[in-house]
Structure 1
Amino acid sequence: MTEEAPAPVVVTERVGPVLVITLNRPAARNAVDREVAQAVAAAVDLLDTDPELRVGILTGAGGYFCAGMDLKAFLRGESPRVAGRGFAGLVEATPAKPLIAAVDGPALAGGFEIVLAADLVVAAPTATFGLPEVRRGLVAAAGGLTRLPARLPRAIALEMVLTGKTMTAAQLHRLGLVNRLAPEGAVLATAIEFAEEIAANGPLAVQASKRVIDESSAWPAAEHFERTRQIVMPVFDSNDAREGATAFTERRAPVWTAT
């Protein structure tokens, strides 16, 4: 009798133009080891390089989003980082295409930092988020200390970081970090609907808009318009821009080619 092959630690599934990336180590609360980080990096590469894919969704299996770094793997000498992409193969080099975190269950430590690396968040109201590193004498070093205060009021971000306390998705929705609350058991379905709304729009326009929002906070104020023009003018010259205008005048849905 042959042994069954072990389940992949990260599962990818295409849903039309959407790539669903699922962390698949439920017995380890989807904690990130080297294999997970490498698999997530490969999935992000696929999202960005495949012209048929428009939006990514990152979620976790088994009712848990992610517990962060796999401490057992760390003690074995494994690094949960990928060169050029950082922790989980994601936090230091996020995709050019929109990424939605679909959270049903706890997203803690590095798991929360993965959420913060995503562009948008869909979650069950009872999903929990936190950076408890200080309770273990550690520091949230995978983007949480810079991204969290950019997404929440400074005092709330400081309270979460310095106490290690968790907050629910319902609380964070009121504060603007969670975009959409989904019924229990319908988080992924809600995220797919959200992704399809985005994917229905011009892909070049979506990516250029995301890039300006991502990069402009570091631009000198006097250069904002010039740098924006450098990114967006190729979109105005694209086939998709002409198709969008033509489809509008002909009262039909546009057919995008990403060219």
Structure 2
Amino acid sequence: MSASNPSQSASTKAAQPSGDDAILTERHGEHILIIRMNRPHRRNAFDGATAQALEAVIDAYEEDDQLRCAVLTGSDIVFSSGQDLIAAVHNDKGATKRRGGFGIMGQPPTKPIIAAVEGHALAGGLELCLACDLVVSSRTATMGIPEAAKSLVAVGGGCFRLPKRIPYHLAMELAITGKAWPATRFAELGLVNKLTEPGQALAGALELAQEVLAAGPLAVRASKQIVQHAYDWVESDAWSKQMEYAAPVMASEDLQEGLRAFAEKRPAVWKGR
């Protein structure tokens, strides 16, 4: 075996995406943000710098009034393999203080975000999907939380969010065996909203995002918050608590526009106010 070239190795290492370079963004039209994980050398696994980069992107998405929906995706080979275990050996965890795991899991955006999955979404990769509101996946994708098989625990929301999305005993099977299942199975169970042919998950997610854009942006954000809190509220309290989110929508210009558009049989023109 020939000796490696030190300068070439250093150059290759420097070229590997890290931090801001590991999270790429582009606008699709005026209102959709595509967020792409870009660490192919680590199968889109997260270290601390990558988590900080995703948190910054989510913050910018929240603050931009023109953006109404985001799509989170990886490559055609892998969505994400979760925490970068090599980085973890050096105590470099893929988390931030404010938004938590991967810069999103503990505090997802209040605006909708769609996961577009190709390849593997394992461990933190599946937990990224659970932090999103909708999931579009290739038929050939694979999902699971294999942590227990390595004597780890899925602490990015997998163990407590998954039982809220699929039946309890099936979530338990995934959690304590570490097995991975095909995306087609998750679609049958209701975790995946839409299946696509291989290589078409992003296109399918963008189609779903267009459906979200057709609805009033204020109502979309309020509805998302109410649905998320539905797991925590008892019904007797939910009637009043939902109004914290719904009341501003009821007093908005967009409500009046929605009613006029319905009466005039035309598409609504939303202003977000």
TM-score, length-scaled by structure 1? 0.96
Which residue in the other structure is 1:257 paired with? Answer: 271
**Residue of structure 2 equivalent to 1:222:** 236
Partner of 2:32: 18
Bigger CA radius of gyration: 2
Q: 2:180 aligned to 163, 166, 171, which one?
A: 166
Q: 2:139 aligns with which of 121, 125, 132?
A: 125
1:140 aligned onto 2:154? yes
Give the aligned residue type for 1:10. I
Matched, 1:32 2:46: yes
Conserved? CA contact 2:37–2:74, under 8 Å: yes
* Residue 242 (structure 1) aligns with: 256
Q: Secondary structure at the match of 2:240?
A: helix
Q: Deviations over 1:184-229 (max 9, x none)?
A: 1111011001011101210000001111000122123221111122
Gapped runs of 5+ residues in structure 2?
1-10
Aligned to 1:186: 200
- Which of the numbers 214, 222, 225 marks the counterpart of 1:208? 222
Moved more, 142-151 or 3-12: 3-12
In structure 2, what residue type is equivalent to 1:13?
E
User: 80, 83, 92: which is aligned to 1:78?
Assistant: 92
* Aligned equivalents of 1:224, 1:77: Cα separation in 2: 41
Shift in Å, 1:87: 1.0
How big is the shift at 1:62?
Answer: 4.5
- Aligned Cα root-mean-square deviation (Å): 1.4
Give the structure 2 partner of residue 50 of structure 1: 64
Query: Residue 212 of structure 1 aligns to which amino acid in structure 2?
Result: I
| Identical-residue share of aligned pairs (%) | 43
Partner Cα distance (2:229, 2:70) in 1: 20
1:44-93 CA distances to partner (integer Å, 9 max, x unpaired)? 11221111001111111242000110011112231211111111001000
Q: How does 1:53-132 map to 2 (within 5 A)?
A: 53-132=67-146
TM-score, length-normalised on structure 2? 0.91
Q: Secondary structure in 1 aligned to 2:241? A: helix
Q: Deviations over 1:129-149 (max 9, x none)?
A: 111111111111110000110
Distance 1:208-1:243 versus aligned 2 partners, 3 A rule:
same
In 2, the alpha carbon distance for the partners of 1:209 and 1:136 equals: 38
